[in-house]
Structure 1
Amino acid sequence: MSTIESNPKNHPILSISASLQPVTPSPTPPPPLIIPNASAITPTTSLPSSPALFHDDKPIEKLYKKEKQILFEFEQIVKDIRFQLSEQLKCLEQRIETQLSILAEIQEYFRRRADVELEYAKNLDNLHKQIGQKHRAQKARRETWVFHSIYKLWDMIVHDTRHHVKYHTIMSDVCGKYMYDKFNEIAEDTRRMFMKCKSVGLASHEDIEKVLNELQS
C-alpha cells in the first residue's frame, strides 16, 4: 500500500510501505490412527437379522373395552330381572296380607253387628212385653180406645215392634253365623289361591334363573 506524506517544506515524500500479511504457522499433523484387526472388535449388541414387526394394539383394546361394557350392562340387566322377581313375590305376599286383614275386619264387624242386633232384638222384645202387660193390666180402662182413630197408630206401633224383634233376631243369626262362616271360607280360599300362585311363581322364577345362569356361563 502506498501513501503520500507532505513535510513542512512542501516536498512530497513518496513512501511505499508494503503491508505484510501475518504468517500462519502450519498445523502439526495428527498422530496416525491405529486401526485394530477386525477380529479384535467384539460387538456389544447384535442387530436383528430382520426388522421387528410392530402391531397396533388399539383395535384389540377397543374390542376388550366393548366386551367389558357389554358384560357390565348384562350384569345390570340380570340384577334388575332378579330384583323384579323378588319384588313380585313380596308384592304377592303383601297383597295376601292386606286381603286377609280386610277380611278379618269384615268378620269382626259382622260379629259385633250380630251382638248388637241380638241385644237390640232383646230390648225390643222387652219393650213389646212391657207394653202388652200394661195394656192387659189396664184393659178395663182402655175399652173405649178402639173407638178412637189414634188407637190404630198405637196398635200399629206395637205390632211393628214385634216384627222388628223377629227381624233383628234373624239378622243377628245371619251376621253371627252365616256371614262369619262365609268370610272364613273366603279367607281359606284366598290363602289357598295365594299358595298356588306362589308355587307357580317360584317354578317360573327357577326356570328364569336357569336361563340367566346359562347366559352368564
Structure 2
Amino acid sequence: MGEKDQDIKSPMKRVGSTRKIVMFSSIRQQLNEQLRCLDTRVESQIGLIQEIQDFFRRRGELELDYSKSLEKFARGLLLKHKEQKQKRDHWPIFSTFACWQHLVKETQSLSKDHAILADLYSISIVASLQTTIEDVQRIYKKVKLIGYEIHEDIQHLLQELHTTMKTYQRYESECKSAKLKLVTAESQRKKLEQTIAKEKLDRNKKYKLTEKEIVKRDTKYKDARLKALKAKTEYQLCLEASNTTIHKYFVEDLCDLIDCMDLGFGSMISKAILMHVSADQGRSRAILQQADNLSHLIHSIDCRADKQKFLEHHHAAFIIPKRLELQYQQDQTEIIEVDIKKELHLDMEQRLETLGQRLRDLRIECDEVWKSLETAETKLLEHYNNKDNDTSDIFTEGKLYIHKTPNSNITPKLKAEKQDIEDYYIMVSCRKHFLQINYYCYCRKFENI
C-alpha cells in the first residue's frame, strides 16, 4: 500500500483515557486487528496479481527463446515459490492462486515461439493486470475509509453507552442520598412526637419546621427516584442498541465491506487471463486440453469462497465478541410509587410513538437506497464484464494482425462513467450500512419498550 494509507490511523485509537474504555478494549483491539487483516488481504491480492503480471511479462520475453528457456523459467518460478513459501502463506486461500499454479505447469509444456504471443503477453495482458492493480488499490482505499467511519460510529455508540451508564449510576446515588435524608427527617419527627404532647404538636414551631422539611425531602426523593428510573431505562436501551449494532457489524457489515473490495476483482483477472486462453486455443489444438483446464480454473474464481476462507483463516479477528452485560446497582427491590409509574408510562408512550415513526421513515429510506444500490451494482458489473478479451481470431490464416491497445474500445467518457458509478455504488453501499445500523438500533429499542 502507499505511504498515505500507512499514515492513516484507525479512529478506534483516538479514544479517551484508558480508564473510560477498559470494558470496551477487547472490541477496540479486535476492530484494529480487522483492519490489519484487511491490509494483509489486499496486499496478498495485489501481490498475487503482480506475480501473474510478472509471469506474463517474462513469458513474452521467453517466448522468443523457445522451449528450453521456457522450461528453465518454469523451474525458476516453482523454486521461487518454494523459497518464499512463508511469505506467500496467504496465497492458497485465493481461488486465483490455482490459476497461477496452472500457468506455471503449462509453461513447462510450451514448445513454440510466436511473435504475436510475445506481444500479447508482454503488452496487452501486463497492461490489463496493471489496470486491475490500480482498480483494487483505489477501491480498497475507499472501502477502508468506510470501515474507519463504521468503526467511528461503533466507538461513538460505546461512548454513549458509557455515558448513560455513568448517568444512571450518578442518579441512583443521588436517589439513595435523598432517601437517607428523608429517613433522617422522619426519625426527627418521630422523636418530637414522643417528647411533645399531642395537643401541643400543632402549635410547636420545631415540629412544624420538621413537617415542612419532610415534605421538601420527600419531593426531592421522588424526583431523584424518577430520574434514576429514567436513566436506567435509557441505559438499558443503549445497551441493547450497542449489542445489536456490534452483532450486525460482525455478521453482515464485515462481509459487505469485503464484497465491496472484491466487486469485479474476479472478472478483471479473468478478462486478462482469458486473453491468454483464447490465444492458446487458436494457436494449437495440441494444447487445447491445457487451455480448457485453465479456463475451468478461471471460471472457478469465487470471491465469496475466497472471503470465507479468509474469515476462517483469521477466525480470532472476525469472531463475534461476547454480548455486553447490563451493569446497574444491586439494590432494586423498592416499589415504584404510583405517580412515578404514571410519569414513566407517559414517557414510554411518547418514546414508543417517536420510535415507531422513525422506524417507518427508515424502512422507506432503506427500500429506496436498496433499489439504487442494485441499479448501480448492475451497471458497474456491466463495465467489469465487458467482453473484449477474445483474441482467438488473430491466428486465422491470412489474417493481418493489428495491434490494439488494452481497453481500446473504452472511451474516456466510458472510463469516467465507470468511475462515477463506482463512487456512487460505494457511497450508496455506505449509506445502506448506516441506515441499517440505525434501523436495527431503533428496532431493538422499539421491541424493548
Provide TM-score, normalisation by structure 2.
0.27
Q: What is the CA RMSD across the aligned residues, in angstroms?
A: 3.5
Taking structure 1 as reference, are residues 157 and 208 closer, same or farther at Cα in structure 2, changes over 3 Å only?
farther
Structure 1 residues 98 and 216 mapped into 2: Cα distance closer, same or farther (>3 Å)? same
1:169 & 1:210 partners in 2: Cα distance? 61
Structure 1 or 2: more helix by fraction: 2
Contact 1:128 1:162 in 2 (8 A): yes
Q: What do the CA deviations read for 1:163-208 (whole angstroms, capped 9, x no partner)?
A: 33233234334434x3333223212322243232332343354341
Aligned to 2:181: 127
The counterpart of 2:202, out of the listed 143, 150, 154, is 143
Q: 1:204 & 1:90 partners in 2: Cα distance?
A: 10
Alignment of structure 1 residues 131-210 onto 2, 5 Å: 131-139=185-193, 140=196, 143-144=202-203, 158-176=214-232, 178-194=233-249, 195-210=251-266
Task: Render the CA deviation track for 1:96-130: whole Å, top value 9, x for unaligned.
Answer: 33223222222222222222222211211121222
Q: Distance in 2 between matches of 1:138 and 1:155?
A: 11
Q: Distance in 2 between matches of 1:164 and 1:208?
A: 65
* One-letter amino acid matched to 1:209: F
Q: Is the radius of gyration larger for structure 1 or structure 2?
A: 1
Q: Does the 8 A contact of 1:89 with 1:201 survive in 2? A: yes
Whether 2:171 is the aligned partner of 1:112: answer: no
| CA-to-aligned-CA distance 1:50-85 (integer Å, 9 cap, x gap) | xxxxxxxxxxxxxx9xx969x75x666433321233
TM-score of the superposed pair, with normalisation by structure 1: 0.51
Using a 3 Å threshold, how does the CA distance of structure 1 residues 145 and 100 change in structure 2: closer, same or farther? farther
The answer to whether the Cα contact below 8 Å between 1:125 and 1:165 also exists between their aligned partners in 2 is: yes
Could you tell me whether the CA contact under 8 Å between 1:111 and 1:180 is conserved in 2? yes
Contact 2:172 2:228 (8 Å CA) reproduced? yes
- One-letter amino acid of the structure 2 residue matched with residue 137 of structure 1: K
> Equivalents in 2 of 1:84, 1:157: separation in Å?
70
The structural deviation recorded for 1:145 is: 5.4
1:156 offset after TM fit, Å? 5.4
Q: Name stretches of at least 5 consecutive residues in structure 1 with no aligned partner.
A: 1-63
Aligned to 2:139: 85
Rounded Cα–Cα distance in structure 2 between residues aligned with 1:204 and 1:118: 46
Q: Describe the SS at the equivalent of 1:144.
A: coil
**Identity level (%):** 6
Tell me the number of residue pairs that the alignment of Structure 1 and Structure 2 aligns: 145
